Amino acid sequence: MLKVVYPLVAVFSHSPSATFMTPLSATGSPKTVSPQRGIGVSHSMLDTLQPGLTRLLARDALPILGPDGTEPPTRQQGSRRRRFSRRRNFTHQPASPPGDREMERRRFLRGASSVVGASLLSGSWSAAQSAGGPSVPPMGMTNLGGGAPTDEAFWTQIRQQFRLSYDRIYLNTAGLGPSPRRVIRAVSEMIEDLEDRCESGHNHDLWETAKGRAARILGCDPDEIAYTRNTTEGVNIVCNGLPLETGDEVITTTHEHVGNTISWLARQRRDGIRMRVFEPSMASAAETLQRLTDLITPRTRAISISHITTATGQVLPLEQIGKLAAEHDLYYFVDGAQSAGHIPLDMRAIGCHAYATSGHKWLLGPKGTGLLYVRKDALDLVEARWVGAYSGGGDFDMSTGEFSFATTAQRYEFGTVPVSLFHGLSEAMGFLLDLGMHRVWDRSHYLGTRLIEGLDSAGAEVISPRAADEHSGIVTFRVEGMSRADLQGYLAKDFKIRSRGIYEGGLDAVRVAPHIYSAATDVDRVIEAVEALKL
């Protein structure tokens, strides 16, 4: 007779003295059970367990239950999903200098069996198998190599850290990025922790850790960062906070996301400012810079521009634009929705006054999170229009009407934020920092290069730029005789590829955006789909 051992899960509070042990239900949720009742262990439950407890369960031979609560049939050899694979000849030109990549590699691999293996990588193998994914053991159990852009074994291990379904090829990171398992766990645990304590969540250590990680991602000081819900909220804070008057001009591009465009158009309608736009050149950064320069007049007050455009994935020459803005004494704002978590950043080198991004795209964080960077010397230039308890410096006098703002970017955090979501964002940023942003960018850039060269050879019209320092992991293309709706529908129906139609700037095309969870065979599948149209 099998002796059933009741597994216990530790629920950790951020209070050092608060640790609770509760039995697990069959769904993986903490639950009180009768000592006479036996329980199995589901795959979702295994995802929540610490490695030590996982080993305990394996040692005591508890049954593994499928999603319906029954033991799944034995896996047949050769039953793994067959995936498209093809070797292609193409060249990849690195887009960034090596920098400290070797140090990043050693740090990542050194932690693979401890920190990375325990928090970033635990519980992934069984869950991936139950989702129909490839049978790849958890990281730390095999030789991973150096994580080079072309090291598919390494990136296959990274793929296992995501719950993302294997029933389709997801290539829409530029719209929404999936979160690693450790992020999902962090959010869930924080929700439970907050409900256990029923406190407001003012955990300064947690906030310092999160903003410290955000500062490393953005390349700035933690005091220059405010939490927002998304990029659009950051855009609105800056757009409505800058001191602009009727007739003042703001320069932007035709390839901006609608959230950036409409925010400025609303201010134009309300205050009479004038928007001036240009189309970025796909030929060269120098031509793009010249087109921008040609629009500057004595009435120009600001430049609002994307780092990486949502329409084509073009990397704009931000440092040169920053120098141009400084030369003409212009406010300089950057929409970083497609860059944070995608490319290494340095706010000092960019030279912008403000930079907004989302947590739910390339940062792989929870949906409903964002970051706003405002340079220290620009805090009083970008007026906080929405204010609350967290905006003030603590000094206010109702009798005189006097009050002071916080001396940091916290002045833009006007109310209670979703603590659990930003704890998850902190974990997501930690995941990327463990990998190293140079490694992340090199992988995305490599996949972009593979797409561009493969689509060229397949006969598609690639709209994204080809220069190594101007293209990213986002690639936009079209096929002669097909509308964006037809092409997107064809990719989805016939090849199970999730893409996004592009209409910005008058384009009629389709965008694909792989990230670190994408395989080379995923982008090859796009190329195969285009090649099939010629048959």
Q: How confident is the model over 255-292, as pLDDT tens digits?
A: 999 888 999 999 999 999 999 999 999 999 999 999 99
The token duo for 170 is 């997801």
Element (H, E) at 494: helix 484-495
Residue with more model confidence, 237 or 30: 237
Name which of 418, 259, 408 is nearest 337 in CA terms.
Answer: 259
Given this model, what pLDDT does residue 201 score? 55
Q: Are 317 and 289 in contact (CB under 8 A)?
A: yes
Phi, psi of 298 (to 5 degrees): -60, -20
Mean pLDDT of 338-348: 98
| Domain at 185-384+419-433: CATH architecture | 3-Layer(aba) Sandwich (3.40)
**% of the chain exceeding 90 in pLDDT:** 63
Query: Among 33-47, 118-132, 197-211, whose mean pLDDT is lowest?
Result: 33-47
Query: Among 20-24, 142-146, 357-361, whose mean pLDDT is lowest?
Result: 20-24
The token duo for 79 is 């039953």
Angle made by CA atoms 97, 358, 416, in degrees to the nearest 5: 135
Q: Is the pLDDT of residue 138 over 50?
A: no
Mean pLDDT of 214-240: 97
Mean pLDDT of 31-50: 34
Query: Among 95-99, 367-371, 406-410, whose mean pLDDT is lowest?
Result: 95-99
- Give the residue range(s) of CATH 3.40.640.10 domains in the chain: 185-384+419-433
The span from the CA of 407 to the CA of 148, in Å, is 42
The predicted model scores a pTM of: 0.76
Q: Are 333 and 298 in contact (CB under 8 A)?
A: no
Query: Among 19-28, 86-95, 307-316, whose mean pLDDT is lowest?
Result: 19-28
Given this model, what pLDDT does residue 18 score? 37
Query: Which residue is listed with tokens 């990281």?
Result: 139
The span from the CA of 108 to the CA of 86, in Å, is 29
Q: Is the pLDDT of residue 45 over 80?
A: no
Q: Are 222 and 212 in contact (CB under 8 A)?
A: yes
Other beta carbons less than 10 A from residue 415's beta carbon: 10
* DSSP-assigned beta bridge partners for residue 356: 335, 372
Helix-strand-coil split of the chain, %, nearest 5: 40, 15, 45
Read off the DSSP letter of residue 91: -
**% of the chain exceeding 70 in pLDDT:** 72
E strand segments, 151-213:
169-170
Other beta carbons less than 10 A from residue 498's beta carbon: 16
Q: Is the pLDDT of residue 32 over 70?
A: no
Given this model, what pLDDT does residue 84 score? 32
Q: What is the mean pLDDT of the chain?
A: 80
The burial class, CB within 10 Å (0-12 / 13-18 / 19+), for 8 is middle
Q: Is the pLDDT of residue 495 over 70?
A: yes
